[in-house]
Chains A and B, each alone.
Chain A
């Protein structure tokens, strides 16, 4: 036994020594820019293509695109950054929470006015402090939360789609009728996310912020929770999505939608590419405008942003690559290939030619883009608030406890409040 081990060891040692030396030699020559990327569709693959283009134009710079699961961005990246480690660029969604790690690239930009004009409206989301004029990156996409419906099932049940001003109750009633007629498992499902939940909550009249600008769980929010729990109890909602996990782990409902287990889901515009790829011609699907509540018919804007990070060891090259990706032609290419809504002001006005989008995807993009006008100002504020996780995460965990019967809705709301206050207090220390 020792014989075989030693032979293996000997060879492995030799090959490794060579490999390490080789690796060391290569990396010493080129300036490296590391990009940590996650994708819902093909965002990282497209970025890798753009990276090759950039490398061709800029010899001596190497761009490495690491595709990681979303979980890594959410859980591992903040820890690394806090320890002083990390990539040069990352595609992040917790825009406010990570802002203290962003690097200002404006000193290295040739034309900062371009950024100000084209990405100005969303720049505030990336600022570490109010009024900060630095440029820390740009939105890789503009997303909006909103529902998708299985049109085929509606047709089969001979139920008409409710109109653009229909309320959540109208939609629930319609979807229930469809589910019963077509023997679908459940009428509706929402992504297991406080971010998704906020849309209907705000539509229902939740103000999210009190007069001082702090987070508050008001009657509107409570009523939405009540309704949501009720819909689980009467079988409207698919139990697996929210009840299938514990804590505040994210789970999407799109998988169930694609498998035909649910008539309608509340998700977002970033799923368009995936829907197109995975549903194909199995059934007809449509994006519909956000249903209304007492106060609004809103979703929540958002998106993932490319940000430059303070841990970068090659700030000039980082700024150069970000500028390259933000350039109109390249950005348009990215948007078209990933079927996303552009955050670029010019492109939003001009429109993008979605070459790979089939009719269903094109229509969905149209619905979401059109819905931007209906976004409530509370939704914008919510998205830009630094500590919005403090209300989003406890919502998921406590509401789940309510709908599996561990807590009553009142208890859940109280605990939600307590968790939220605790989190904000600790975050501000």
Chain B
């Protein structure tokens, strides 16, 4: 406590003085200052540099050594002989990655929200040891993606536990991670396994904020359980649901760490998602195509912003519609 008081006393005169000079409202900039500085230097500036990379060619790292190339990188990315068959595209892995990512996001977000909602509803009941159960479901969120992937990779390897169980049941072992469909399934499963707890808690908090008399009023009106769920619970939970949907979608599109360690993007490019494509293009290959990677990342950022805005618009419309009823 003494250290904190020392720190406080040190800065107070600084702020008090600034307050005299700047006035109260402009003092706000001083508060926002440190955060903004770090943010500007280490988040915003790199994005600007990225734009420069996207418009330059060559394999040099230092921007000064890179010749300007305009939109050439974007042209490379989007060049396709036949826009309906991405096999004919010059960067077919890029398009495959986008396709994979969209598929993954839609399926994973839907399942994630459903399971989180279900779990939250169950946890909202009067059950014994609620704190313990909350901990159980939240626990995997604390694990690092590398650890999560290693655990599952180890369970799923061809001589791992799952296959041992299959063999014990007289079933031939399944190539969990080298079969493209299974590999895709497991990327979805593992990411839900690791992150569901976070969204469950958000929804649980929302459920607990709904006042009990609402339910009692519904009971008195002899409302059926389905009605209670759809007409009362869900609408009141809508703000939290929107938060969950948007966050889950953003995270799903950006999936990388777990999948990269679990399958490496394989087999082939079955589980290669867009961030891995960017990482591979810019980092992993020894001929670093920084420009292409930067162009792809900008395309991703734009796509994500569009997606999020779309999501917000749709859910806000639904929200407004519900309220009218």
Contacts and interface: CB of A to CB of B under 8 A. Distances in A.
A97 to B, nearest CB: 5
A400 B287 contact: no
A277 interface: no
Contacts of B175: 239-240
A245 interface: yes
B58 A389 contact: no
A405 B269 CA distance: 10
Contacts of A397: 93, 269
B59 A404 contact: no
B319 interface: no
Contacts of B60: 82
A230 interface: no
A94 B177 contact: no
A389 B269 contact: no
A322 to B, nearest CB: 24
Contacts of A83: 61-62
A393 B268 contact: no
B220 interface: no
B61 A94 contact: no
A244 B158 CA distance: 11
Contacts of A42: none
Contacts of B67: 429
A246 B287 contact: no
B226 interface: no
B4 A406 contact: no
Given A404-B180, A406-B269, A245 B287 contact: no
Contacts of B2: 6
Contacts of A246: 263-272, 276
Interface string A36-76: 00000000000000000000000000000000000000110
A404 B285 contact: no
Given A2-B1, A244-B177, A426-B289, A249 B58 contact: no
A294 interface: no
A411 interface: yes
B178 A243 contact: yes
Contacts of A245: 263-267
A393 B281 CA distance: 11
Given A244-B267, A426-B59, A393 B272 contact: no
Nearest to A83: B61
B286 interface: yes
A75 B285 CA distance: 8
Contacts of A9: 3
Interface in A1-32: 2-3, 6, 9-10
Contacts of B254: none
Q: Which of B67, B87, B177, B284 has the most CB of A within 10 A?
A: B284
A198 interface: no
Interface string B18-43: 00000000000000000000000000
A415 interface: yes
Contacts of A427: 59, 287
Interface residues of A, number: 44
B283 interface: yes
A360 interface: no
B57 interface: yes
A418 B272 CA distance: 20
A401 interface: yes
Given A3-B1, A426-B58, A75 B283 contact: yes
B92 interface: yes
B1 A6 contact: yes
A422 B291 CA distance: 12
A393 to B, nearest CB: 5
A348 interface: no
Contacts of A418: 90
Given A9-B3, A83-B61, A426-B57, A243 B266 contact: yes
Nearest to A245: B264
Given A3-B1, A94-B286, A426-B59, A400 B90 contact: no
B3 to A, nearest CB: 5
A390 B288 CA distance: 11
A83 B285 CA distance: 17
B266 A239 contact: no
A243 B61 contact: no
Given A82-B62, A244-B178, A389 B287 contact: yes
B269 A401 contact: yes
B285 A389 contact: yes
B3 A6 contact: yes
A405 to B, nearest CB: 8
B4 to A, nearest CB: 5
Contacts of B289: 422-423, 426
Interface of A: 2-3, 6, 9-10, 74-75, 78-79, 82-84, 94, 97, 239-240, 243-249, 259, 387, 389-390, 393, 397, 400-401, 403-407, 411, 415, 418, 422-423, 426-427, 429
Interface of B: 1-4, 57-62, 67, 76, 87, 90, 92-93, 158-159, 175, 177-178, 180, 263-272, 276, 280, 283-289, 291
19 contacts: A79-B61, A79-B283, A82-B60, A83-B61, A239-B175, A240-B175, A240-B178, A245-B266, A246-B264, A246-B267, A246-B268, A247-B272, A247-B276, A247-B284, A400-B267, A400-B268, A401-B269, A405-B268, A429-B67
Given A79-B288, A247-B280, 13 more contacts: A79-B283, A82-B60, A94-B286, A239-B175, A246-B263, A389-B285, A393-B287, A404-B266, A406-B268, A406-B269, A426-B57, A426-B59, A426-B289
Q: Which 9 A-B pairs have the closest CB atoms?
A: A246-B265, A82-B61, A245-B264, A429-B58, A246-B266, A404-B268, A243-B267, A401-B268, A406-B268
